[in-house]
Amino acid sequence: MANVAVIGAQWGDEGKGKIVDWLAERADVVVRFQGGHNAGHTLVIGEKVYKLSLLPSGIVRGTPSVIGNGVVLDPWALKAEVEKLRDQGVDVTPDTLKIADTCPLILPFHRDLDGLREDASGAGKIGTTRRGIGPAYEDKVGRRAIRVCDLANLDAIGPQLDRLAAHHDALRAGFGQPPIDRDALVEELRGIAGFVLPFVQPVWKMLNEARSRGRRILFEGAQGVLLDIDHGTYPFVTSSNTVSGTAASGSGMGPGAVGFVLGIAKAYTTRVGSGPFPTELDNEVGERLGTRGHEFGTVTGRKRRCGWLDAVLLRQSVAVSGITGIALTKLDVLDGFDEIQVCTGYRLNGEVLDYYPASAPDQAAVEPIYETMEGWSESTFGARSWAELPAQAIKYIRRVEELIQCPVALVSTSPEREDTILVRDPFAD
């Protein structure tokens, strides 16, 4: 049985939460391997709606869940999310949640810096969630981060605080802010350490032991490939690698541990925040997609930008992330359109491109080339088999497969976990 990595194949918000929840029931362990609490995964189970940001989606069903070393952890956000779940009847314990001891911490001054930079950037705003994700990753790479394991020995973090303060105090002064209050920071960390430490262990060891026993591991990504720091629409990207290769490095397992790579993609395209978006529809069609798809960010509440499916970008995601199969979500949002368009290429300075260029000016200048397909009037909402889909909907799916050079493994037709058409079982591969 294969282990499975689930990643977003667009700009995030593709419906990963439902798909991970659907798969988690058959997994033995679920692992978050990158990102932070800037992610937003919505799970609908019966009459209850769960909105997760940091916790792995398996936690709601009691599947053993892991926050891997590739995640940046805000301990106060973790506590708030655990308490919110407890209010919804889900008890998160050290038996169900394990946190890597090497996770870097997101600290209050990271959030401050994130907001100060965005406010000062004017037209150059990235559109971050202002939750300190980027600054925390910068400190990790700069070798000055305070990590989860340091919470167990706060009396010894003086030298690391010196490194942090040397960097951040200069930045804060540039924004007219006072230096870090080191004593207050240490006291805040002492206050949260008792909550976090019971969940902490060397998860790389636990995961490798699980693999050796033949346990099925589900790797859960956050954001999407088009927000990858290397392969996304830079600089309008997140601060981590979101591609499937990070499942190995962000969990402490070798690349051979990742088997089937399931890419999640909407049947159309959305984006939150700033950055290029070739197929964006700033018209009544875009409004219709947004209204029918309830397109508002899980974390930020921001309205998502909407457009037709961009098969060029999706094909690029398939290539750079080694996607084995696609889970196509929100097919029902396209119900009732007389015509549906799909981007099959770009025009740039008189040339036709079959890939998305890397430079920001070129990305902003490309014009999409569309292929028009006949729509369908019948409803696909809640369909659970091919037989329940209109012929034109099936034709649309088959054409998408051709354009992105990847088979569709699952089709999601509503937020309900059972409203899923299984074409190819990722765990059986």
- Catalytic site residue from 21, 28, 37, 41: 41
Within 10 angstroms of residue 358's Cβ, the number of other Cβ atoms is 10
Active site residue 41: yes
How many degrees, rounded to 5, is the angle at CA 343 between CA 338 and CA 348?
140
Query: Which amino acid is residue 55, in one-letter code?
Result: L
Residues 6+ away with beta carbon under 8 Å from 95: 64
d(CA 227, CA 413): 25
By DSSP bridging, strand 48-52 and strand 65-67 are unpaired
The dihedral through the CA atoms of 208, 209, 214, 219 has a sign that is: negative
By DSSP bridging, strand 367-374 and strand 309-310 are unpaired
Within 10 angstroms of residue 171's Cβ, the number of other Cβ atoms is 15
Within 10 angstroms of residue 34's Cβ, the number of other Cβ atoms is 30
Active site residue 13: yes
Name the 3-class secondary structure at 157.
coil
Report whether 4 contacts 263 (CB < 8 A).
no
Q: How far is CA 142 from the centre of its chain?
A: 24
Report whether 314 contacts 265 (CB < 8 A).
yes
Q: What are the structure tokens assigned to 332, written together?
A: 């029902």
Active-site positions? 13, 41
